[in-house]
Amino acid sequence: MFSTYLMKFSTDVLLIAPAVMGTLLAASRLWDAVSDPVVGYLSDNTKSSVGRRRVWLYAAAIPMGMGMVMMWSPPLSFSGWLLVLWMGIALFAYETASTAFYVPHGALGVELTPNYHERTRLFGYTHMISAIGL
C-alpha cells in the first residue's frame, strides 16, 4: 500500500516519470532483499545493555521518520533529476531504517516469551494497531 501511495504522489504531484519511479521502487526492493539478512545477522550478534533487539529499534526510529518526511516533502525548489535523486536518497534511507527497525522487531517476540500462543497474541495486537493506523 505504501508503494502505491508513493507512486501516485511521485508521478501526479512531483511529476516524476512513472518508469523512473518504478525503477526506484524496484531498486529499493532489491536493496531490501540484501539488507534484511544482513541486519538479521547483525541483530542476532549485537550485545547491548538494553538487549540485542531494542538497541536496533531505538537507533532506527528517528532515521525512519526522517526518511518518511524526506519522501513526502521534498524541497519545493527541486525538479527534474535533482528531485529524482532526492527521492532515491529518501527512499533508500527510509527502507534501510525500516529494515533496521522491523527485522529485529520481528525477532523480538521469541525473546519476549517462549510460548507460541502468547507470541501470536502479542503480534496480533501489533498488526491490528498497525492496520488501524493505515
For the stretch 111-124, pLDDT in tens is: 888 888 888 888 88
Whether 103 contacts 41, CB under 8 Å: no
Number of domains composing the chain: 1
Residue 8 belongs to what domain range?
2-101
| Cα distance between residue 48 and residue 86, in whole Å | 34
89-109 pLDDT, tens digit per residue, is 999 999 999 999 999 998 888
* Mean per-residue pLDDT, 62-67: 96
Quick check: helix, strand or coil at residue 90? helix
Which amino acid is residue 45, in one-letter code?
N
Q: What sign results for the dihedral spanned by CA atoms 45, 50, 53, 54?
A: negative
Q: Indicate the pTM of the whole model.
A: 0.85
Kindly state the helix (H) or strand (E) to which residue 116 belongs, with its residue range.
helix 116-133
| Helix residue spans in 1-115 (DSSP H) | 2-8, 18-44, 54-72, 80-112
- 14 lies in some domain: yes
**Angle, nearest 10°, between helix axes 80-112 and 18-44?**
30
Higher pLDDT, 16 or 133: 16
Neighbours of 23 (CB within 10 A): 13
Whether 100 contacts 56, CB under 8 Å: yes
pLDDT at 134 over 70: no
